[in-house]
Amino acid sequence: KQEVTQIPAALSVPEGENLVLNCSFTDSAIYNLQWFRQDPGKGLTSLLLIQSSQREQTSGRLNASLDKSSGRSTLYIAASQPGDSATYLCAVLYTGGFKTIFGAGTRLFVKA
């Protein structure tokens, strides 16, 4: 079964701290992996998209890595800010069926 798991489910850190969010997937036959941010009651905002042939992508303070062989991706957030508080979702597009499977998300709270 194609699944996506995110750890931890929730995380609280002080402002300024660097942090890592984890995503694991069960099948290495993926087309791409996408990280999203969701604020309460809002839709999804795409943060980073990593193609299966890529190892990492960077945008500002965000860096996402992809290791297909181990079925893992990490989202690194540098110098966290209170405005980073949100739920971060990992989504994997598997080549079989071309369906995007979402993880349950990590709820991040950055304390001022």
> Closer to other proteins at the Cβ: 94 or 110?
94
If the CB atoms of residues 74 and 100 are measured against other proteins, the closer one turns out to be: 100
The amino acid sitting at 24 is S
Binding range to other proteins, per CB under 8 A, among 13-21, 40-48, 57-65, 71-79: 40-48
CA 14 to CA 16: how far, in whole Å? 6
Question: How far apart are alpha carbons 79 and 89 in whole angstroms?
Answer: 20
Q: Terminal CA-to-CA distance of the chain, rounded, Å?
A: 41
Is 95 in contact with 30 (CB distance < 8 Å)?
Answer: yes
89 lies in the site for other proteins, by CB under 8 A: yes
- Residue 33 CA from chain centroid, whole number: 8
For position 75 contacting other proteins by CB under 8 A, the verdict is no
Q: Which is nearer to other proteins, 18 or 51 (CB)?
A: 51
Using CB under 8 A as the binding rule, whether residue 98 contacts other proteins is answered as: yes
Q: List binders of other proteins among 44-63 (CB under 8 A).
A: 44-46, 49, 51
43: contact with other proteins by CB under 8 A: yes
Q: Which of 23, 86, 91, 92 binds other proteins (CB under 8 A)?
A: 91
Per-residue tokens: 90: 């990992």
- Give, as one character, the DSSP assignment of residue 112: -
